[in-house]
Chains A and B, each alone.
Chain A
Amino acid sequence: MACYLTTAKHANLYVAVGTVLLLLALTAPAALAFGFGGAMAARSRIAPVAWAGKGYIAVVRGVPDIAFFLFFVIALDQIFEVIRHKIKCPDWPDEIWQGNDFVVCQAAKLPLGNSPQWVHDAYGFFIAVLTFAIVFGAFAANVLYGAMRAVPRAQIETAEAYGMSRRQCFWRILVPQMWVYALPGLSNLWMVLTKATPLLFLLGVEDIVYWARELGGTALPRFTDYPHGDWRMWYFLALLVFYLGLTKVSEVVLERVMQRLSHGQATTGGEAQRRAT
């Protein structure tokens, strides 16, 4: 049994746990950055910027995740390669799109065809983070946009009365106060994000659900030293425990953050804290 759990194939599962956690750790701030940018753009007084922000929020939220992952990632990869192709092979005679095929010169390949496998893996991972950041960024943008409008008008008015500029009002008054309104929405997004990683296999990134399915599948004696029946139920049970654990940890952390953010706020949460002391 101990031997079975330490095969190189199982090691892949353990690595995948790390991959997923790293992905979440990188994607969350990246998505938040996209969301913040989107929300700021949507609030902009300059009409084209506001349209771009609102368009981003509307379009990305409207497209199903799986379609987005299949189409957008390949498109993103091709955009990078076309740009590199234009720079590195300016006198390439053939078309880039030949029917269904997408052909760029070898030097423009991303990553280069002859680079080691880990570079391909890292690139796939990077694309995955970027795609997740864009998708979840759109949802985060909507949450933050709402949160910015939820900050009481009186707070801004007071700041204006003190002679703060629009920029100062935004950064010193609005942004610090909006988080408390944004947090419930953002925590929802976080919980959804933790469970969205199986989509990654579409990009060739092997996550824990993929390995659980692969390892749990019936193993016939001809193909392995450790034959077993359909054990997917047990592997998925292990995943369930993992995800429940992750959820619990997230909840504890988010609760702490909420406590902190409510401090001194003109909300019921903040009021309750004030009375308790």
Chain B
Amino acid sequence: MKKLLISTAAVAMMAGMAMAQDVVRLGTEGAYPPWNFINDAGQVDGFERELGDELCKRAGLNCTWVTTDWDSIIPNLVSGNYDAIIAGMSITDERDQVIDFTQNYTPPDPSAYLGMSADVDVTGGVVAAQTGTIQAGYVAESGATLLEFATPEETIAAVRNGEADAVLADKSYLAPIAQEDPDLMFVGEDVPLGGGVGIGVRESDAGLRAKFDAAIQSMKDDGSLNALIEKWDVSSTFE
């Protein structure tokens, strides 16, 4: 009982400290289940919501969530409208030149092609992908005709209505969709892309980056990150 009291007091104190600090604003897209989406209550929900809240708690930060368009997610970060991007953003060299990433919170994971029939030619046909993603870059170089859309939802719709032969996206995003719809199936080989998903921060914001890095490390060490990954089924787990 005494232990409980002390820990309650400690939590209360920590919460008080967190309140006193400045708010850290987390930017996300809110349209990419199970990573991040808007739930029935109109709140940001999903793997990254839980992860972000837990990381902020461990780092003693007071965080709020902001949704923004994928197209302008990096410009809004560097101009200071929010302080971190947690939006299923893969760590790539291209992005790393503009912003900084924390260590990855999911391991590098395959992307997959989803199509209406098994004999789709993914290197010569028309392949849909979301604008500004690593998948879009990959399709452009693969020889297939790239069809870009602003939201993930539209890329799937393009396959359904025959506009595109297949869509290339994170396998974890496509898997629940393929499960629901008997017409859609994975085609071709999986494609390993990117260096895992990390939190994007401004290059000048080394302090915040270090805090998140430490928090991610602590979640990796005690296994809670793997548990969260399995709960939301977003990727493979860390070794």
Contact = CB atoms under 8 A, between A and B. Distances in A.
B120 interface: no
Contact of B40 (A117, A201, A221, A225): A225
Contacts of B78: 100-102
Interface residues of A, number: 41
B38 A214 contact: yes
Interface string A65-90: 00000100010011001000000000
A12 interface: yes
Given A100-B78, A213-B153, A9 B176 contact: no
Nearest to A103: B204
A7 B153 CA distance: 21
Interface in A169-225: 201-202, 204, 206, 213-214, 217-218, 220-225
Contacts, number: 104
A200 B71 CA distance: 13
Given A98-B203, A218-B156, A230-B157, A223 B67 contact: no
B69 A202 contact: yes
Given A9-B40, A103-B202, A218 B66 contact: no
Nearest to A206: B67
Give chain B's interface residue range (CB within 8 Å of chain A). 35 or more
A113 B176 contact: no
B34 interface: yes
A224 B45 CA distance: 11
A243 interface: no
Nearest to A202: B72
26 contacts: A8-B40, A9-B42, A12-B42, A70-B72, A74-B75, A74-B76, A77-B81, A98-B204, A99-B203, A100-B99, A101-B78, A102-B79, A109-B80, A114-B23, A114-B62, A117-B64, A201-B68, A202-B69, A204-B66, A204-B68, A218-B156, A221-B180, A223-B34, A223-B46, A226-B40, A232-B157
